[in-house]
Amino acid sequence: MRVVLLDNRDSFVYNLVDQFASLGAGIEVYRNTVACATVLAALEPTAAEAADGLRPALCLSPGPGHPRAAGCLMELVTTAVERSIPTLGICLGFQALVEACGGRVDRVGPVHGRSVRVEVSPAGRADPAFEVLAGGPLDVARYHSLGTRELPEALTSLASTADGVVMAARHRSAPVVGLQFHPESVLTPQGPGVLRSLTADLTRAASAPSAPSGPTTLPTTSPGGAR
């Protein structure tokens, strides 16, 4: 599988590149300063991929600041949902997914470089992302000050902290998953397994027939939240 990774200027980006490569994925990296159209063009299947019935997947990396101030990120995640592009959003990428679907991220208190045990929901226990847990606990690395305790209707919570900050969610109709935590960090012991499960999940989605590329109406949201 080929993964197109949007680099939101974060030091963890090449940890992700290395982990995807270790799972056999081909990686192309684009900074969020490029036009959204450039990344979308990279997400078009090559002739060989099309012959095999495959599509590339998109990964939206962690990064600093608010998702609405992250270059082409918001336009890209909105288009990914509209076109049912197989997508994984991590940290800032997860926050962009929340905002694109009509939710809001705001300050939840700075949590940087801490490992926290999270509660996996019943939906999360049944989700391919967390099949590696086999019913066990999930300790994750948190590096963020923005987050959400309330998801928009389009998203289903897969995991949250004891005080209600959502740590993972899946879109109800598009092949899009978001993680607020960092699976690529050494502070997430099950991270490689979670990323392996998600890569397999994205591969299955990338092998499925592509949805029509016409627009799907998403909730209109106004810029806001902490920066």
pLDDT at 110 over 90: no
Across all residues in the chain, what is the average pLDDT?
Answer: 89
* 39, pLDDT greater than 50: yes
Mean pLDDT lowest for which of 43-57, 184-198, 202-216?
Answer: 202-216
Position 209 pLDDT exceeds 80: no
Please enumerate in sequence order all residues whose Cβ is within 8 A of that of 25, keeping only pairs 6 or more positions apart, or say none. Answer: 1, 2, 3, 199
Residues 6+ apart with CB under 8 A from 18: none
Asked if 182 is an active-site residue, the reply is: yes
The C-alpha atoms of residue 124 and residue 146 are separated, in whole angstroms, by 22
Q: How confident is the model at residue 224 (pLDDT cuts 50, 70, 90)?
A: very low
pLDDT in tens, 66-92: 999 999 999 999 999 999 999 999 999
Paired sense of beta strands 155-160 and 166-171, if any:
antiparallel
3-state secondary structure 142-205: EEEEEECCCCCCCEEEEEECCCCCEEEEEECCCCEEEECCCCCCCCCCCHHHHHHHHHHHHHHH
The two three-digit tokens of residue 99, written as one number: 């905002």
Residue 101 known to be catalytic? no
Is 112 labeled as catalytic in the residue annotation?
Answer: no
Q: Is the pLDDT of residue 10 over 70?
A: yes
d(CA 172, CA 226): 27
pLDDT > 90? residue 119: yes
Q: Quick check: 214 pLDDT over 60?
A: no
Tell me which fold the domain 2-207 belongs to: Rossmann fold (3.40.50)
Of all residues in the chain, the percent with pLDDT exceeding 70 is: 91
Of the residues 36, 59, 91, 101, only one is catalytic, namely 91
Distance of CA 87 to the CA centre of its chain: 6
Candidates 66, 144, 171, 182; catalytic one: 182
Q: How many CB atoms lie within 10 A of CB 209?
A: 7
pLDDT at 227: 27
